Each structure stands twice: as C-alpha cells, then as structure tokens.
Amino acid sequence: MNKQQLVAQLSIKSEISKKDAEKHITNLFDIIMETTSSGENVKIVGFGGFEKKPTKGSSGIIRFGDRKGETWTTEDSFKPYFNPSKAFEDAVKA
C-alpha cells in the first residue's frame, strides 16, 4: 500500500475527504519524524514505537578493484527504528 492508497482507506473509514485524510496522515508522519529525530521516543499503544538508535562507525580495507589496499571509514550516526507492539506482531503472524 502506498500513501495515496492509505489516504483513500482513511478517507473511507473516517468518512472525511481525501484532502483532509492526506493532511492528517502527512501531519502524523511529520510529528513522528520531528519527535524521533529530536531524540524522544514515540510510543503508540497497540501499534508500536519509533526511536532514534545510534550506530557505530566502521572501517575496512578495499580488497578488489583499482583502489585495492585503501582504507575506508564511516562515522557514528543514528538510524530510525520501529519496534512493533505484540498486538501488531500477532496480527501480522495470523
């Protein structure tokens, strides 16, 4: 399902216009992204949680090609993480 299909489903279930449904979905996604990127977790009971998790940088040596023997590194950073609730997991398993 893509965003437009999600908008259509929300519009039908909530009996609102597609324009309003799209606005609500966009606002929800924006709030989740802004809150998570600031380092605060978003937990939705019965659905799951969104959090910002740190990742460690890594390094290595290029083994093939023209740059063989050169080293590469990546810096520490953050990644978004979604942890589904038990109810969500059970629904997907069924």
Mean pLDDT in order along the chain per 10 residues (94 residues):
97 97 98 97 97 96 92 95 97 94
Domain of residue 45: give its range: 3-93
Half-sphere exposure of 52 (CA within 13 A, CB side): 13
| CATH number of the domain encompassing residue 81 | 4.10.520.10
Global pTM?
0.79
Domain count, the chain: 1
Buried b (16+ CB within 10 A) or exposed e, 41-65: ebeeeeebebbeeeeeeeeeeeeee
